[in-house]
Each structure stands twice: as C-alpha cells, then as structure tokens.
Structure 1
Amino acid sequence: MQLTSILLYQNLKEQFHIADYRLLSKNQPLARPFFFEADKGFKNNHIYLTDAILDLDVFSSIPEDAVLIICQKDETSHLPEGRFSCLLLSCHTSVIHVFNCIQSIFDYYEEWEGQLVSICHQNGSLSDLLEISQPVFKNPLCIMNMDFSLVAHRGLSQLPEEQQIFENHTLRLDYIHALIQDENFHLEDASPKPFLFPAYLTGHRSLNIRLFLDEKPAYQLSILENGTPLTDADWYLITILAHHAEYILHRMQSESSSRSTTLQSIFQSVLSDCTADYMGISHLLTNVGWLAEHTYLCSVIQTEGPSSLNGNTICQYIKNKFPASCSLVFKEYVVSFYNETLLKMEAEDIFRGLVYFIRDSMLKAGYSRSMCGHMNLRRQYLQGLTALTLGLEIRPQLWIHHFNQIALPYILRQSVKTFPGHMLCYEKLLDLQKSDKLQNTEYMKTLRVYLEHNLNTVQSAKALFIHRSTFLYRLERIKSILETDLEDPDELFYLNLSFRLLDNEEM
C-alpha cells in the first residue's frame, strides 16, 4: 500500500516536531523511502531523507510527485521558496531512526490492507472489516443502507447517549432529514468521493462515502468523530476501506440474488395471476426452503404520500431487517411476505420491528393475518390491501392497520353490495324504526341497548336512565311489534347484525 503525502505528514507529526512543511498535493501517492544521494538525484513518487545542508538548486530539482524529508536540530529553520514538497523535521534523533519510523508506518498500513484483502478473499463479513479498521481510524465506524438502517458497525457504544442516533428513533429521524437536505448528499449527484457532515445536529461530525452496487449508490460508510479528530488522512483511508466493503457487498449480492430473484418471481406470479397454479407455486417455494408447514404474514405499504422513500428503498430496508422475507413493488404498493418460521418470530415481533420505520418515514401499512401454508398467500395479500385501504378510509389518522381490526366493517360492506342494509336486515325491525318516527318512541334505541347489555334488564335500564318498570313496558311493546320473545340465539344474532347493516347504510 502506498502512503499519501498527507498520511505521511499526519503520522510523522505524532512522533516528531515539524518545523516547516510544504505539500503540493495531499493525495500524492508515495512509495517506500530512500536516503538522498546527491549524485543519484530523485525518482518520481518516492520519499527521500537527508540530514545534510542542501544547496538551493537541490530543491529546484525535486520532482513535484516526490517528497523530501530533512532531519535537523535547528527549530528556527524554514523552507526556501519553490515548487516542491518537503517536510522539515526538528528533532534530536538520527535520520536512520526517522527512516525506520517511516518503514514502520508503511508496514502498519500494509498489514491493515493485507487483513482487508484476507477478509474479502476468505468470505469475511462487513463487521470483520470494521473491526480491524477501527484502530486505524480511532473512531466509531458504521455502514448504513440508503434508508439509514444499520448494516454493520463498530464502536457505536462509545458514543454518548445524546449522540446515539441509531438507538434514539427521534434523533435518527432528525439526522436522516438533515443529511438528505445537505448539499453534499443529493443522490442525483451521487459521487464516490468522501463528504463531511457537520456536527450541528448530533454533536459529532461524520466523514461519509457512498458504496456503489451496479453503479448506483446503495450503502454509506461513515466515520463518526468521537474523541479523535478527523484528519485529512482519513479522507484517503476511507476510500481504501470503501473499496473492500464494496467487494464484500457485491459478493453478498451475488450470493443472495439467485434466491431473491426466484422468490420475487414466485411472488410476482402470486400477486399478478389470480389463476396461478398454487400446487406449482408451492413446489417452487419448497425448493427455496419456504415450506408448506411454515407460517406466513403479508404487509402492504403505500408508497404514494408524504414519505420521501421510494419503493425500492423500502424493499431493501425490509430485506435487511427481515432476511427471511421477500418484498416487491406491485402497482403503487410495496408488498412483503414474511416467513415467520424461518425468522423465528411471531407477527407481533414483525409489527414491532417495523413500527418506527413506518411512523418515522410517514408511510401507511396494512397487515394480513398470519396463516400456515402456501394456499392462502394471495388471500393474505388481499387481506393486507383491504386492511390498508379500508383502514385509511375508517381511521385515516392511523399509520398502521390490521385486517383483524377492519374484518367486521369489511363483512358489512361486502354484504350490502347487492342489497342495501334495509333489504337485508330483520324485516320487523323496520316496523320499530317506523314507530319511532311516527310516534316519537325510542324502541330502536331500547332494543339496541338491551342487546348490547346481553339481555340484562337492570343494566339496560340504567344505561337508558329510565325506571326498570318503564324499560319492561317498552320491552313488551318491542316483542309485540317484532312478534318474538327474543330468546332464539340465531334471531338475536340477526338483530345485532341488522343494527350494523343499517348503520353501514347511513355512512
């Protein structure tokens, strides 16, 4: 690994006093050092050391891509004018010691790079890369998806509580919005170069670089300044780490793409083809390890609205959060299927895992019921879609809607598609309704309260704020009009349902 001139400077500054320096380029790559010999001159891209007093014409012969290091004891010396790169060290150690120190600097970074290469070639993980890199950067490191979900990290626990942007959901959302608005971050101008994010929000600066897959920004590597100030050298070192992180990400993508593509193809058929061969789909799912005895859940997330996240970003977030899941953009929704058995989760665990993401991203979601097997997968999608659309109609202020919460309103709406509620309800109930209008009675209200209190006369009378004898008189009149004794369970169920059918007709 070659050092850059700024990396050389930063490391030497930690060990020696630098009386003066000039660097034509901070990013000039440099090979291992030589001792300067006047009769041999300079080679390009190299470091040279000397403790001799040099004539001015020597400085004019230094190539612009070489760096000369002068070791001396006089702290008041300074460099002559000219276009050359040079470090003037004021130290009492020998030039040989400085030479050996520079060799050690090369050895240190070459060993680090060798470890990075070894991890990449031995199927290591992103976490492995960050673990061996944190001592190099001396600050916490993390790799995030473009939706800012953590993929790998090292040292985040060192951050003070008020700076825990990935643990504090409110702070994380503020950080996301601020970073998105930062002029260096705009995705349409995606650049592979590092960029600095200031400390005004989280209390620490971060040096960031995008990681690309298929020539598109897919992840972000960040150094979070905590205790050790970020240096110009970090701008070079983060590009080295990013290169190896991209290698692992491409390998991970290659390993998962076949299985993910297969799952997406299967579920695309489930969603788009209502006549699909479910026995064939079951066989295909079994081949990728999603078995008929497994339990599945479906979510449907609305992509249109105030959220700044697109469908593919939402899919990627869910994939990272729940490995045993499959998400795809279908029409204007993100539809996700979760294998609860492989995830070793129940539906409630999945709900909790997504609740902050849905809320903070200003999304709207509907969930199906959990079901076992492959035969109901399309029906689960329809359940999730119904939960979302009907839930938004009934309770638009909520972010999340569950099918269980809207099942009864759904049944009532389905039942009146052919006939209105007054044509489906208990026929004699209309006579009660007519009596209330013509004679100003309260028979409908009285019967409804009676049914709601499970035929308890005392509690019903209290709820209506009338005397028990008054209630019993009304009840006898109701039974007479309905021509029933209100004892048949089926009849009581029909009456309860009839009230809801009429309610639904009035909406």
Structure 2
Amino acid sequence: MKLNLYVIADHLKGFSFESQFADPIMKGSLKGVLLFYSGMDLKTDQLYLSYASDLPEPQSVEAHYNIVCIGKPPEAYLKNTVNLLYLNSDTSLNGLFNAIEMIFQKFAQWEETLQSIFYQKKSIKALCEASLCVFENPISVYTSDLRLVCYAEKEKPDQLMLFNTSDTEKYMSIDEVNALKIDSEFIETIKSYEPTIFPKDAFGYRILLDNLRIQDIYVARICISETDQPIKKSDLFLIRTLSFYSELCLRHHDNEQYNNHPQNFDHLLFELLSNREVEVKLLHKYLDYYHWSGKDSFFCCQLPISSYEKSVLTANALSFQLSTNIKESCVIQFENAIVLLINLTRSSKTRNQHLGNLAYFIREGIIKAGVSEVFHEFSKLGFYYQQAKIAYQMGSVYDETLWCYRYENYALRFLIDRASEGYHPEVLCIPGLLWLREYDLKRSRNYCEVLKVYLENNMNIAKTIRVLYLQRGTFLYQLKRITEISGLDLADYQTRLHLMLSFEILEKF
C-alpha cells in the first residue's frame, strides 16, 4: 500500500528526528524507500534516504518530494518545499534504511491481510482484529443508528477493557443516545466524508471516527477509542484503508437486520397497520413465534419520529431499547413512527404499569406517544393503531405539555371535531340551547351553566345543587325557567344527547 511521510514519522521507532510536511495528511503516494545518489532523477512516489551533504542543489529540488536525511539539510530545504525528516549526523544509514523498509513491509502485510479477509468473506470483526497492531487502541464498528456491530481490543485486565462480549449487537444506552443527538459536534461528524476526531467530553476519551458509505449513504462508522495509546496523526490516513475494506464487506457480505422478527413478519405487520386483511394461518404462525394468542389482550403506542430524529439516526436505537426493556412487546417502524405493541396477557402487567415504565424512555428521548385502548383480537391491530394516531394528533393540539396521550381522553373531542369541521354552531347545535345562550347574554344569567351541570350529574337534583351551591327551591325555579325559555324536553334521551354534544361544540368557539 502507498504511505506518506506522516506514517513513517509515527512508526519510526528508536530514532530522534525533526520533521516538516508539505503534503496534506490524507495524501498517500509513497511506494517504497530508495537510497539517494548524485544525479538520481527524483520522483514524488518514492521516499529518498540520503546524507544531508549529498542532497542535490536546492534549485533542483521541487516541492512535494519526500526525503529522510542524516544531518541538517541546507536552509533552502527548510522552507516547506519538501516533506522532510532529518536526523542526527551520527545515525547509521543502514540501520535507518532497514527501519524504514520494515515500516513499508509492515503496512504491505497489513493490506494483504485485509484483502485476504475480504476474499475469504470473513466478518468486519476480522478486519478490526487484524488492525489492532496498526492503531494500538480498541476498534469498534457501529451502524449509523448506534448499534455495535463488532469490536476488537487487545487483551488486558478486565477492569481496563473497554468492551465485553455482551456488548456486541447492542445499541448504545438511551442516556448515551439522548446525549449524542443534542451534541452539535456529534451531528457534524455524521456529515463528514473525512476521518474526524470526536472530543473526549462525551465519553471521557477521544474517538477517531470514519464513516462508511454505500452508494453515498452513511450506513456505519469505524471508531478507534483513545484509551490505550494516544491517537497518532497518521491514524487519520490509515483508518481510510480499514474503512475501504469494511465498506467492501458491507456491500458484498453484510445482511444485518435491525430487529429479531422472523422473516416476513414486518410485512405482515405493515399489512395489519394499513388495515388490510392477512391470511389467518400465516398470522397465527408468527404469533406462535412470540408464544402469543390472537385473543390475548393488547394495546399499541405510536411514537412519531421527528425529522430531527431521522437526521441524527437514533430511531432504531430507541426501537431497540423499547423492545429489549419492555417484555412481551413487539416494535416496528411504520409511517414515520415507532409502533410499540404490548401483550398485556403475557406480560401480566396492566396498561397503566406499562405506561409508567414507558415514561422513562419517552421523556428522556424527547418523544411523545399516542396510546390506544386495550383490544383482544390481534387481527384488529390496524383499528387500534388508528386510535393511537388520533390520540397523538389530538393530544399534541390540546395538551402540548403532556408526553402521553391516551385515546379515551380524546375520543369524544375527536368525534366532535370531525363532525363539526367546517360548520357553524348554528347549524349543528340544538336550537333550544342557542335560545337559552342568547337569553343569558341579554339578561346576564347563567342558565346554560346550570343546565350543563344538571345534565352532567344525570339530572340528580341533590348533586346539582351541591355543585352550584344553590338552595333546592332556587334551583327548581331556575330549571322551570330554563325549560320555558328553551322549549327543551329533558325527559327525552335524544334531546339530552344532542344537548351535551351541543355544549361540547360551543366550547370550540
């Protein structure tokens, strides 16, 4: 593989030298090292080793040659026109040549190993393990949504290890995800096409990051954690080689899934959530996978994914946290939302208990949820998903400060909103109530309020007068005047129903 002088400088052990660099750190053009002799035709893809006294006249030296010399070079060489390392004059030329040649051989062998791993269709983990000798720090690979695919780390005492075997295939914790998605520096790393170093503020150590892309879409990233050795400048250049072979593995060998659902189960859930019929036998097959019955008790939640959640790619991480921490649940992403389905029968918990547990994930995740009623037939999932959607839509409008919107709290309001949409109250309300309302406005009375309280208390006189702080005689007189003014027959059920709906409609205006 082609190197640059940054790599040579970082891996040249046992020698003391000074350096200057003209090329950017990400440029690599060096194929090998040659001993310089007088009259040699210099090329930019070779590293030349020479005594300082044997270097050609300064005027014959052009920019961007790569030179390692023993002794201090002429002043003209120190004006940033070449990539240069220079050592003490008592350095052994043969020893220096051998040390540099060993660096080229080391990285040639590394690349050969990476190629072999790819052609043998081994995992990305094997690539990372083969790269520990290069970076000398723990190496990990995360999907774009913060799931740990694999890691490689040198053996150390347990208390010094950064990872353990149970970490693989896990998403970052909900606390880590929430901290990162509001970290502006982390958001910038998502956009990067070059290796970047993430500062130590979030985790206590710096991390060298390089994003892996397939068809220009960011799908994963390689992370080198600065816990064993300081990150070297040349690591930013070398990580691109590891990324190249990792991307090849992702394109040709990777078939990772984001959940543990059986094959085609997601498609069946999509059909149900879209209110389309599914084959009963097929449905029971998938329910058997969870040891569920189609007649168990369920409820579902809709957690809409904001454009921000999409941009920082944390929705899958939250989905994973929900599915692993809420027992007897199933999680899927549908219509720009996370859909959480919970089996109450199998979990032996109530809806209220589950929502109490859910509060931690929703509040910390800056996400809100619409919640359906309980239902007892899995095939009707689509209907109750609609309830959860309605609850979220209504709650977001009427109770913006809450985090959880239960359908039963908004069902009547939704019904009234839909029925009255586009109509004036004069069209929908029972006339007697409108007359009574007009009378109150003209005479400064509160007969409408009295009537409403009377109906809300099921026309129970004792309860009504306690609420209104009225004497019985006073209330009976007011009730008589209400029926005279409005002409309403309160003994008729349909009249009472129309009245209560009319009160709700009037509250909108």
Q: TM-score, normalised by structure 2?
A: 0.61
Alignment partners' CA distance in 1, 2:300 and 2:365: 18
List aligned pairs for 1:40-189, cutoff 5 A. 45=45, 47=47, 49=49, 55-57=54-56, 67-70=66-69, 72=70, 76=72, 78=74, 81=77, 85-90=83-88, 94-99=92-97, 101-102=99-100, 105=103, 124=123, 137=135, 149=146, 151=148, 167=175, 172-176=180-184
Structure 2: state its 5+ residue gaps: 154-159, 163-171, 324-329, 483-490
Alignment partners' CA distance in 1, 2:197 and 2:87: 31
Q: Say whether 1:377 aligns with 2:385.
A: no
Sort the Cα spacing of 1:316 and 1:446 in 2 relative to 1 into closer, same or farther, 3 A. closer
Alignment partners' CA distance in 2, 1:64 and 1:36: 17
- Give deviations 1:160-179, integer Å, cap 9, x for gaps: xxxx9984677534424x66
- Give deviations 1:75-107, integer Å, cap 9, x for gaps: x55576497655322275644544554466457
The amino acid across from 1:444 in the alignment is L
Residue of structure 2 equivalent to 1:299: 302
Task: Indicate the SS of the match to 1:276.
Answer: coil
Q: Say whether 1:503 aligns with 2:503.
A: yes
Is contact 2:299-2:372 (8 Å) kept? no
Alignment partners' CA distance in 1, 2:182 and 2:312: 22
List aligned pairs for 1:260-279, cutoff 5 A. 262-263=264-265, 265-272=267-274, 274=275, 276-279=277-280
Alignment partners' CA distance in 2, 1:77 and 1:91: 11
Sort the Cα spacing of 1:194 and 1:200 in 2 relative to 1 into closer, same or farther, 3 A. same
Alignment partners' CA distance in 1, 2:313 and 2:481: 62
Moved more, 236-245 or 313-322: 313-322
Sort the Cα spacing of 1:169 and 1:185 in 2 relative to 1 into closer, same or farther, 3 A. closer
The amino acid across from 1:89 in the alignment is L
Task: Indicate the SS of the match to 2:379.
Answer: coil
Q: Say whether 1:394 aligns with 2:398.
A: yes
State the 1:282 CA deviation. Answer: 1.7
Q: Say whether 1:366 aligns with 2:370.
A: yes
Sort the Cα spacing of 1:465 and 1:260 in 2 relative to 1 into closer, same or farther, 3 A. same
Is contact 2:302-2:338 (8 Å) kept? yes
Sort the Cα spacing of 1:197 and 1:136 in 2 relative to 1 into closer, same or farther, 3 A. same
Is contact 1:67-1:86 (8 Å) kept? yes
State the 1:309 CA deviation. Answer: 5.5
Residue of structure 2 equivalent to 1:325: 331
State the 1:213 CA deviation. Answer: 2.3
Moved more, 286-295 or 383-392: 286-295
Sort the Cα spacing of 1:223 and 1:43 in 2 relative to 1 into closer, same or farther, 3 A. same
Sort the Cα spacing of 1:157 and 1:308 in 2 relative to 1 into closer, same or farther, 3 A. farther
The amino acid across from 1:6 in the alignment is Y
Is contact 1:424-1:501 (8 Å) kept? no
List aligned pairs for 1:247-266, cutoff 5 A. 247=248, 249-250=250-251, 254-256=255-257, 262-263=264-265, 265-266=267-268
Q: TM-score, normalised by structure 1?
A: 0.61
- Give deviations 1:335-372, integer Å, cap 9, x for gaps: 4444557x99956655643544444xxxx653435656
- Give deviations 1:121-170, integer Å, cap 9, x for gaps: 676466x8768867855778776665x64656989999xxxxx9984677
Is contact 2:309-2:315 (8 Å) kept? no
Is contact 2:262-2:286 (8 Å) kept? no
Residue of structure 1 equivalent to 2:243: 242
Alignment partners' CA distance in 2, 1:443 and 1:80: 99
Residue of structure 2 equivalent to 1:3: 3
State the 1:393 CA deviation. Answer: 3.5
Alignment partners' CA distance in 1, 2:227 and 2:395: 45
The amino acid across from 1:384 in the alignment is A
Is contact 1:412-1:501 (8 Å) kept? yes
State the 1:380 CA deviation. Answer: 2.6
Sort the Cα spacing of 1:357 and 1:115 in 2 relative to 1 into closer, same or farther, 3 A. farther
Alignment partners' CA distance in 1, 2:387 and 2:427: 27
Alignment partners' CA distance in 2, 1:242 and 1:355: 36
State the 1:403 CA deviation. Answer: 2.4
Is contact 2:35-2:49 (8 Å) kept? yes
Alignment partners' CA distance in 1, 2:65 and 2:291: 60
The amino acid across from 2:271 in the alignment is S
Task: Indicate the SS of the match to 1:297.
Answer: strand
Alignment partners' CA distance in 2, 1:500 and 1:302: 37
Sort the Cα spacing of 1:110 and 1:283 in 2 relative to 1 into closer, same or farther, 3 A. farther
Sort the Cα spacing of 1:278 and 1:22 in 2 relative to 1 into closer, same or farther, 3 A. closer
The amino acid across from 2:385 in the alignment is Y
Residue of structure 2 equivalent to 1:486: none
State the 1:236 CA deviation. Answer: 1.0
Alignment partners' CA distance in 2, 1:208 and 1:201: 14
Sort the Cα spacing of 1:54 and 1:142 in 2 relative to 1 into closer, same or farther, 3 A. same
Q: Cα RMSD between the aligned structures?
A: 6.3
State the 1:375 CA deviation. Answer: 0.5
Is contact 1:144-1:152 (8 Å) kept? yes
Alignment partners' CA distance in 2, 1:118 and 1:456: 88
Aligned length: 459
Is contact 1:20-1:87 (8 Å) kept? yes
Sort the Cα spacing of 1:218 and 1:500 in 2 relative to 1 into closer, same or farther, 3 A. farther
Alignment partners' CA distance in 1, 2:256 and 2:218: 19
Is contact 2:31-2:45 (8 Å) kept? yes
State the 1:212 CA deviation. Answer: 1.1
Alignment partners' CA distance in 1, 2:88 and 2:123: 44
Structure 1: state its 5+ residue gaps: 159-163, 483-490
Residue of structure 1 equivalent to 2:361: 353
Is contact 1:315-1:328 (8 Å) kept? no
The amino acid across from 1:326 in the alignment is I
Residue of structure 2 equivalent to 1:488: none
Alignment partners' CA distance in 1, 2:84 and 2:311: 53
Is contact 2:332-2:338 (8 Å) kept? yes
The amino acid across from 1:10 in the alignment is D
Alignment partners' CA distance in 2, 1:41 and 1:416: 88
Residue of structure 1 equivalent to 2:218: 217
Is contact 1:319-1:326 (8 Å) kept? yes
Alignment partners' CA distance in 1, 2:9 and 2:436: 94
The amino acid across from 1:276 in the alignment is E
Task: Indicate the SS of the match to 1:16.
Answer: coil
Is contact 1:425-1:495 (8 Å) kept? no
- Give deviations 1:179-225, integer Å, cap 9, x for gaps: 65x6x976xxxx74335678999999875533212332334555677
Sort the Cα spacing of 1:84 and 1:310 in 2 relative to 1 into closer, same or farther, 3 A. closer
Alignment partners' CA distance in 2, 1:144 and 1:199: 18
